[in-house]
Structure formats: C-alpha cells, structure tokens
Amino acid sequence: MKTYIPKAKEIEKKWYLVDAEGEILGRLASKIAQVLIGKTKPIYTPFLDVGDFVIVINAKKVRVTGGKEKKKIYYHYSGYPGGMKGKVFEDLIKEKPEKIIREAVRGMIPKNKLGRKMLKKLKVYPGTEHPHEAQKPEKIRL
C-alpha cells in the first residue's frame, strides 16, 4: 500500500457561504478554519492547500459570550515605543467587523506560508452583500 498524495490539478476548490448572524465568534471561527485548511475533505494533506473558499456575511452581527463585549481587547503594535494600541470588542465591531472574524480565524490556522495562503481564501463582509455571486457559493450552516 502507498499513501495517496493529491496532485495540484486534482484538488477541487469549492466556495461556501456562511451567515454569521447570531453565531458565537469562537465556534464559528473554528469551523471556518477547518474548511479553509481542508480537514473536512477526505483528501486532506497537512503540507498542501486542499481547503475551500469561505465567504462570511453579516460579520457585524456575530456575538460573544461571558461579557467579552466590554472585556475583550484587540491590540495593535506599531513597532515604536509607546505604540501599543488597543480597542474593545464593542468599539471594533462598529468600525471593522470583518477584522474580528479574520483575527479569530487567523489564530486557528498554521503560522507559516501555507497558513497565509489559506487565509487569503477567507472573504468577510459586514452586511449581506458580497461580490462573489459568479462563483455560485453553496450555503452551509456551521
């Protein structure tokens, strides 16, 4: 018996549409990460990008539990002394709701070149409109 390794042209990429309205952030992000990595496919290979594309709509309607709306802080460091900035979840969801989901998923995928390639297949939009109708995304409930 030999181990089957899929060739690059054999890997089929699908498009999935996920509605984040009312979903809990961490649970949603972990399911999205599994699809991006390709762990939901039988041809999963750790060193190849076999995952699918994911479109997330209604990012501004995602929720968190345990009072994290006021406690969870997203940090950004400019690289200069005194350059550490932080924003609370409830402020960031009003300004950049897509960043919240992107950061949650980014923490769950590999931290290397392959992980950065996988993250490019994630498309997040704050409302219900998205420009990917031509790809005919399949709606899934995670």
pTM attached to this predicted model: 0.93
Contact of 73 with 88, CB cutoff 8 Å: yes
Q: Is the pLDDT of residue 21 over 90?
A: yes
What pLDDT score was predicted for residue 142? Answer: 79
Q: Is the pLDDT of residue 48 over 90?
A: yes
CATH 3.90.1180.10 fits 12-139, yes or no: yes
Matching residue, tokens 């994290």 = 68
* Confidence class for position 141, pLDDT limits 50, 70, 90: confident
Residues 6+ apart with CB under 8 A from 81: none
Q: How far apart are the first and last CA of the chain?
A: 35
Tell me how far CA of residue 46 lies from CA of 49, 80, 89, in angstroms.
8, 37, 33
- Report which of 91, 95, 88, 89 is spatially closest to residue 24, judged by C-alpha positions: 89
Average pLDDT for the chain: 96
Q: Is the pLDDT of residue 73 over 90?
A: yes
d(Cα 89, Cα 97) in Å, to the nearest integer? 9
Q: Is the pLDDT of residue 15 over 90?
A: yes
What pLDDT score was predicted for residue 31? Answer: 97
**pLDDT digit string (tens) for 95-120?**
999 999 999 999 999 999 999 999 99
